[in-house]
A and B are shown apart, each in its own frame.
Chain A
Amino acid sequence: MPQTVHLNKGFNLPLIGKAHLEEHKIKQPDSFAVKPSNFKGLVQPKLLVSVGENVKSGSPLFYDKGSEDVLFVSPVSGEITEIIRGERRKIIEIRILSDKKIEYEDFKKYSKAEIYNITKAQALATLTSSGIWPSIIQRPFGVVANPLDEPSAIYISAFDSSPCAPDMAYIMRGKEEVFQLGIEVLNKLVNGNIHLNLDSTEIPSVFSGIEHVETHKFSGPHPAGNVGVQIHHIKPIGKNDKVWTIDPLSVARIGTLFFEGIYDASKVVAITGSEVIHPHYVKTYSGACLDKLLEDNVTDTNVRYISGNVLTGENVGVRGYLGHFDNQVSVIPEGDKEEFLGWMLPSFKKLSFHRAFGLLSFLNPKKEKVLDTNTNGEQRNFTISGTFEKILPMDILPTYLFKSIISNDYDEMEALGIYEVIEEDVALCEYIDVSKNDIQAILRKGIELIRNS
């Protein structure tokens, strides 16, 4: 068996509202949406549909000017109802009214034997036209992969360590076969190995028998499940490297695509957070409107609806839509109220990585807590040193990296390791920052500066 990489640095946020391993039947939402902003690195999305047109699951909605072969498709069948645009006519959302039956666009079917012997050209043609391609992410930069590249490795993190994260074994159950087929297809694209990175504490059966991958095991607190952290400990990437990452569900979707000839956008989503009455799993499709997923299952009105987890998710509102890559919805209280001497009074309830005066959560680190959206303080200059270094399990000096981005110093950013990280890897730094800076936004700014330089 592979050696386990033990990570000591990091922090698990013990939050109330982890989903129980049970799937709850819901009425499917009427509305679905595809958001170009879910996909990083697009140059300029160009629409292929207009309002009123009927689409099927797998029908193209738009492409990107930067890579015209790659199509972005509809997750469900139905009618395009609205195209929301923002500043300078930028496409924000393409909304689809579901017809509730899910008709599929036909793609070429392959038998199992054919999939094992598929050519690279065949694989590429189907992947790019079917809507699955944008789920393949390139590192460095965390952008949609370019089909013309040949990566030196593909990395798959088979577990999610973020707060109240969905259980990967549960949402992937029954998908062993298509997952293996997806791996076979991906193997045709890579000039190297596919790395499957497992949680060392328990290896779910869905991943235990997978062949033609190199497995690695990781242990430790969040962000041990982040693929960027894993790559750093397997083979760090530099300026001229190109590797791809992909999530397990998308690998399974690739398998389904080639074996059954359909783009299957269904997914099992964890409904989590302290304000959810029954935290459980529901089955729906990518881009689902949150309203039906949470119907009669939220305690209060002054809450925040987050697509994703509380560290990297997006506040979308109750009528918002599930992000393409998200397998989780978090509902937590809004923190839009003042608290008398809240910066000073001792508390067991407030969660802190630090042990500054009166923050006593460290005495019982496993106790699950309710966290609201209050920033717990105002934004300041970087003042404290050494804390980011304590939480990021990578050989990187985060404070210097962030400062180099703020001062637009390209050489420093490169030398300090900007190629190795994306937002999710520094999310914990943003969480623990006593100066309350928007570190993920700072990092993305740096990544865009380097990409466009």
Chain B
Amino acid sequence: MKLLQNLFDSIKPHVEKGAKYEKLHTLYEGHRTIFFKPSITTGPKGVQVKDAADLKRVMFTVIIALIPCLLFGMWNVGHQHFLAVGVVDATFLSKFLLGAGQVLPILIVSYGVGLGVEFTFCVIRNHPIEEGFLVTGILIPLVMPATIPLWQVALATVFGVVIAKEVFGGTGMNILNVALTSRAFLYFAYPSQISGDMVWTYLGDQVAVDGFSGATLLSYGATAAANGTEMMLDLGTHWYAGMFDFWNLFFGVIPGSIGETSVLMCLIGAIILVFTGVGSWKIILSVFGGAWVMGIIYNLVGTNSFMLMPAHYHLVVGGLAFGAVFMATDPVSAAQTEIGKWIYGFMIGVLTVIIRISNPAYPEGIMLAILFMNVFAPLIDYYVVEAHKKRRLKRATI
């Protein structure tokens, strides 16, 4: 430890104010604080002791909560690959390693490019390195398909960090969720690599088995609605029997974005976030609730077989669970009042299902629903705060 401290101490004179590389001071501080909790003490007045938690630890907690999704995602990429190419006896390890081989480069590009942008901004604008990207850097890969070209990951990360965050003033000031902004950018700029039926399963240079289709359940639904066929019967004809059974969907052994498929892993993450108090259970619960209620409403008015899909299926398909647990709960872009959180989450759930079923252009709706509600979160909070002020005023005049 002493060695590392000495190393930092030896660099310090070169980056201090007035020295040759003073512009790099924030970079120096940023790296030192990763290894060492800084020696800053409290001021002469005000609190003399401070809570042990800081933003680094809070962000680290989110990363811990994301690890089940990441590991499962690696395995599932391999698993789906071997299913698609017809290798039935692949081992757990070979699936995991193949998936990791696909996922890790995406993760490295996301972190490398993202931190590069962050560092550049810190130096230019002379603000400390903030922890927000620690989480964004892992969220971006998890919402991408395993087949995404790496240059697109890089481009999306730059767009997300610059346009969604830095132009607003950095972590804590952004309006939109950064990772979802990155994904939305790709979705509209390069749709053929992030939507459709062919991107969700990594085939590599191998040929898929006869009858293979990479379609997700939601695209089955959209097709059934367009053709007027029975969606639930169509699912039964899937080339791989049992792929779209409810529990298979719940465990997430299906094609999809890297980290989003497994509801079970998302729920483990949710338990970590809720128990540690980092994520809001109100938001998570109300997203699921909103999606289910809207699913029921569609069931009641159903005019095609997609609308009649059992409402609870909405909770286990697509990215709803991942979005609810890790994206909607982003404290900066979410509603910040407690009542606002219920409304915000519920509306995300409702909008997700509306986009899924009623908008044929976008088979999955959670991304756009969250971004849309990010924009509305301040408005929701505004009305909640206004109501609070009115109540206060009433009480004061009695």
Contacts and interface: CB of A to CB of B under 8 A. Distances in A.
Given A236-B395, A434-B55, A338 B47 contact: no
B213 interface: no
A386 interface: yes
Contact of A304 (B48, B278, B389, B392): B48
Nearest to A384: B331
Interface in B267-286: 275-278, 280
Nearest to B341: A386
Nearest to A163: B49
A313 B48 contact: yes
B51 A376 contact: yes
Given A384-B331, A434-B53, A238 B36 contact: no
Contacts of A330: 48
A377 B52 CA distance: 8
Contacts of B48: 304, 306, 310-311, 313, 315, 330, 332, 373
A313 B48 CA distance: 7
Contact of A356 (B38, B40, B61): B61
B39 A335 contact: yes
Of residues B37, B48, B60, B276, which shows the largest number of chain A Cβ atoms within 10 Å of its Cβ? B48
B57 A355 contact: no
Of residues A347, A400, A434, which shows the largest number of chain B Cβ atoms within 10 Å of its Cβ? A434
A137 B189 CA distance: 63
A353 B52 CA distance: 8
Contact of A397 (B35, B277, B385): B385
Contact of B37 (A315, A338, A399, A435): A338
Contacts of B57: 343-344, 356-359, 377, 434
Nearest to A440: B46
Sorting the interface of chain B by its residue count into under 10, 10 to 19, 20 to 34 or 35 or more gives 35 or more
Interface string B91-107: 00000000000000000
A336 B172 contact: no
Given A344-B60, A357-B64, A376 B41 contact: no
Interface string A429-444: 0111111101111000
Contacts of A340: 1, 4, 35-37
Contacts of B40: 374-375, 378
Interface in A334-355: 334-344, 347, 350-355
A372 interface: yes
A386 B342 CA distance: 13
Nearest to B132: A383
A385 B57 CA distance: 15
Given A338-B36, A375-B41, A415 B389 contact: yes
A38 to B, nearest CB: 11
B337 interface: yes
Interface string B1-43: 1001100000000000000000000000000010111111111
A93 interface: no
| A interface, over-half SS | loop
Contact of B332 (A355, A376, A383): A383
A237 B392 CA distance: 10
B172 A354 contact: no
Nearest to B340: A385
Given A336-B39, A389-B338, A399-B336, A371 B396 contact: no
B54 interface: yes
A416 B389 contact: yes
A360 B57 CA distance: 13
Given A311-B48, A330-B48, A356 B42 contact: no
Interface in A364-401: 371-378, 380-387, 389, 395, 397, 399-400
B49 to A, nearest CB: 4
Interface in A181-202: none
A238 B394 CA distance: 10
B68 interface: no
A21 to B, nearest CB: 24
Given A341-B37, A357-B57, A415-B393, A381 B44 contact: no
A361 interface: yes
Ordered nearest first, which 9 A-B pairs have the shortest CB separation?
A377-B54, A342-B37, A381-B172, A238-B396, A350-B52, A338-B36, A385-B336, A357-B61, A415-B389
11 contacts: A312-B46, A314-B44, A315-B43, A353-B53, A354-B277, A375-B42, A378-B38, A384-B55, A395-B392, A397-B337, A436-B50
Interface of A: 13, 236-239, 241, 304, 306, 310-315, 330, 332, 334-344, 347, 350-359, 361, 371-378, 380-387, 389, 395, 397, 399-400, 415-417, 423, 427, 430-436, 438-441
